Amino acid sequence: TYLPNVNEMTDFNMWTWNSRVFPGIDPLPVRLGDKVRVRIGNLTMTNHPIHLHGHSFAVTCTDGGWVPESAQLPETTTDVPVGAVRAFDVLADNPGDWAFHCHKSHHTMNSMGHDMRNMIGVSKKDLAKAVGKLAPDAMVMGSTGMAMGEMEMPMPDNTLMMMSGSGQFGPIEMGGMFSVMKIREGMARDDYKDPGPYKNPQGTVAYEVDAPASAAPRQNGGKEEGGTTQMKGMKGMKGMKGM
C-alpha cells in the first residue's frame, strides 16, 4: 500500500465525507430556529479544520466526554485531530445556503495532482498547437488562469473534475470535503429533502455597477499637485530638504 505525504502536498490525494465528494454529496437541510448538533469522526491520517459559514458554534463534546458550558467557546472552525471525534452545536438562526467544509484548500478538491508547473503569465500558443497534434482533446490552461467549473472537455471514465459543482450564480468550483447547510423557514420537522437554492431577499445580492470609479479618499488632508503630496502642519522641521 502507499500513503501520500500530506506534509509535502505533492502527491495525488482524494478527501471524502462518508466516501462522498462534492458535488456528489447531500446538503444539510435545517429548519430555521432549530439547534443542530453536528458530529464528525476523523478516520484519516491527517487533521481536518472543519469550518461553517454564516454562524458561530460551540464544541460540546470530544472523545473525552461532554464539554462543560463554562468551558465552551464561540467558534467558526474546529480542528478534528487524527482518530478523534468532535461534536458542535449551532443555532440555525441565519437563513441561507452556507458552505460547510474542511478549511484545508486541497481537501476541497478532487483528483488534485501537484506535479504540473504553474504556467500563469506564460504564452502557450505554440505549445498548444504541438500538444494538439499528439492529443487532440487536450486543453492547455490559460495564461491568465481559467475557471475550471466552466471547462468543457471529455474526461476518462470513473474520473472526477478537480473543482466542480454549480449554483444559482454559476460555477461553485469546489470538491472533496465540501457541502452546504441549507437553512430555511417553514420546513417540516424531520424533513431532510433538498429545498433547492435559497431565494435571496430583494436588494441583498451584489451586482456589477457600470460607472467610473471614484477617486480614492486621502488621509491628513493631503493634496496632490504635480505628482507630489503637500504635507501641511509640519512646522519646526527645518533642515529636512530633499525628502
Among 85, 28, 22, 21, residue whose Cα is nearest residue 55: 28
List, as one string, the DSSP characters of 9-37: T-S-B---BTTB-BTSS--EEEETT-EEE
CA 192 from chain centre, in angstroms, equals: 24
Walk me through the domains of the chain, giving residue ranges and CATH numbers.
Answer: 14-110+163-193 (2.60.40.420), 116-143 (no CATH)
Q: Which amino acid is at 139?
A: M
CA 108 from chain centre, in angstroms, equals: 8
Q: How many CB atoms lie within 10 A of CB 37?
A: 11
Residue 235 C-beta-side C-alpha neighbours within 13 Å: 1
DSSP class of residue 131?
A: H
pLDDT tens for the chain, residues 1 to 243: 455 555 555 555 678 889 888 888 999 999 999 999 999 999 988 899 999 999 999 999 999 999 999 999 999 999 999 999 999 999 999 999 999 999 988 888 876 555 556 666 777 778 778 887 887 766 666 555 555 555 556 666 766 777 778 888 888 888 889 999 999 999 998 889 999 999 999 988 888 888 887 777 777 655 544 444 444 444 444 443 444
